[in-house]
A = this chain, B = another copy of it.
């Protein structure tokens, strides 16, 4: 509450990588973004119960608050249910897709991933920036009300994942 210096300097440095890490450098923020992008989860309960990692509800509430404050998400009321809230990605949030794609590509190569969860990272890597742009346009449609680009990138990623998940189940 107190402000000891005239103008508080909240940042460790002006380095782009550092500033990105100040916003995203924890174990959960990008998991939430991931689930919103690839799982199309928009409600608190969906995010809470959907992720296999099992985020705690207070952590999720805190992250959603921070991500909204940081301008990566917006929160609005759900017209169909007075108590529901809908979270949407902003343009800045959508532009995290290449970061997630590279992170997934790296994880797939260097960490012990499971096949059904790695397939999306693989398709995203093989598709390259062109596929990322198509996916980002789909996200702009779903989250920002942009016109439907007509592509089905998310549907293809999801189908590939579910086909593999069914095999191993």
A residues apposed to B, CB below 8 Å: 11-28, 30-31, 34, 51-54, 71, 92, 95-96, 98-114, 117-118, 121
Quick check: A14 and B110 within 8 Å, CB to CB? no
Interface of A is mostly: helix
Count copies of this chain in the complex: 2
Quick check: A14 and B118 within 8 Å, CB to CB? yes
A96 to chain B, nearest CB (A): 6
Cα–Cα distance between A66 and B105 once the two chains are bound (Å): 21
Cα–Cα distance between A92 and B16 once the two chains are bound (Å): 22
Quick check: A19 and B95 within 8 Å, CB to CB? no
Chain B residue nearest to A24 in the complex (CB): B103
CB-defined contacts of A111 to chain B, threshold 8 Å: 16, 19-20, 22-23
